[in-house]
Amino acid sequence: MATTTKNGGSSSHGADWNPWHGCHKYSAGCLNCYVYRMDGRHQKDASVVQKTSAFYLPISHARDGSYKIPSGSFIGTCFTSDFLLEDADVWRGEAWRMIRERSDCHFLFITKRITRFANCIPEDWGEGYRNLTICCTVENQAKVDERLPVFREAKITHKIIVCEPLLERLDLSPYLGDWVDSVSVGGESGEQARTCDYDWVLEIRAQCIAANVPFHFRQTGANFVKDGKRYRIPRKLQHAQARKANINTKAAPKRRNGNAPDQDSGV
């Protein structure tokens, strides 16, 4: 997954870390879960949650004593499960310890279970680990209204709202502000993908511009509607087609006393 920071920069993660695998379908966005599709091809039951052999990857060492994942890496975390999944409560403390130890790397995980967050953080959490971005997904308006108030108040250093799979028109405007680093939007992949309408994408973009929040159109999904016409887009083209739309935005420079842009804004 590519992430967009407050200054609009985009970076792809340099390593994947899946400390546990498997999940339980939790809300409407989970209907056509890619992990279930992936495991189904290999006759595996994706609802069985198991600790993986890669559990200690962030602190694993090479023969020369260096970390296998080099300093400065961006580590996509728990992409085949949910970091806040109830089944992982017994393992999460050790995972937090590794994230803390590897403060020289930046971790990112995506969750649908932000309402569990306060019950899952370690004792030394404070205002949040500076080397961690947490993304909260919202696929429909009901989940926007349920999850974003919790996400907004949570003590997390870096926050991204992820509208994937985007299943309907969303109004994020009551919740947007400088507390969130960016908003990422995308349609659903897979043969059974539900509609993603380009008008919905543009409306979220307009809301982000109004709130001065960076916006990133990540993928079209497989079942994409634009100007009333439906397109079936192959998986390999979904990210490229989103990039071709050329609608990603950065935050506007801050101004001092309504005058010149603040040169320290990092835009």
| Beta carbons of 110 and 84 less than 8 angstroms apart | no
Token pair belonging to 159:
């926050």
The ranges of the chain with pLDDT < 50 are: 1-12, 255-267
Per-residue pLDDT at 252: 82
Specify the pTM: 0.90
* Domains in the chain: boundaries: 2-245
pLDDT tens digits for range 132-176: 999 999 999 999 999 999 999 999 999 999 999 999 999 999 999
Per-residue pLDDT at 193: 98
pLDDT tens digits for range 87-106: 999 999 999 999 999 999 99
Q: Which residue type does 85 have?
A: L
Instruction: Give the angle 177-72-213 at the CA atoms, nearest 5°.
Output: 15
- Is the bond leading into 165 cis (omega within 30 degrees of zero)? yes
Strands 132-137 and 106-111: parallel
